[in-house]
Structure 1
Amino acid sequence: TSSGSFVYDPKIERTARANRKAAKLAKEAARLARLEQEEAEASPYISEEEQFEMADANPPPPPRRTLGDYGQRNN
């Protein structure tokens, strides 16, 4: 039950690190390809009227007030 019998092998560690990196890159490439395909399938043409409707539908919220704002005069 001695844990000192294990030998550290840097070559195995490098191989494992390279395999993990390759898997991570492949997963990211697949995700990007899927996103590009979804964007291509979506309607590429949006009329200007639709863009204006979308802009008018959700106006930005007013800026958050702070204690200093409440203390200012309203001249």
Structure 2
Amino acid sequence: MTYPHYDRLISFESVHQAVKAEKVLDRQGIAVAALPTPREIAISCGQCLLFVAGRRGGNLKAACGCACALVKTV
């Protein structure tokens, strides 16, 4: 499955962090999709988020206070 309108993938060390980050992105009006982390990314709780970085994204790590495992351009 492909998600052509998203340009960033982020995975987390815990599901709690993923849920918190999803809420932060949503409050900022940024479209986000939660899905299982691809097998190619080994360090993960099993959930990742896809989103469009854009100018409104700001610093997600600072906004949600999480230690994100990976932020990748997709």
Question: Which of the five TM-score ranges fits, normalised by the shorter chain?
Answer: under 0.3
Looking at secondary structure, tell me which structure has more helix per residue: 1
Could you tell me the TM-score, scaled by structure 1's length? 0.22
Larger Rg: 1
Q: Which of the pair has the greater relative contact order for Cα pairs under 8 Å at 6+ separation?
A: 2
Could you tell me the TM-score, scaled by structure 2's length? 0.22
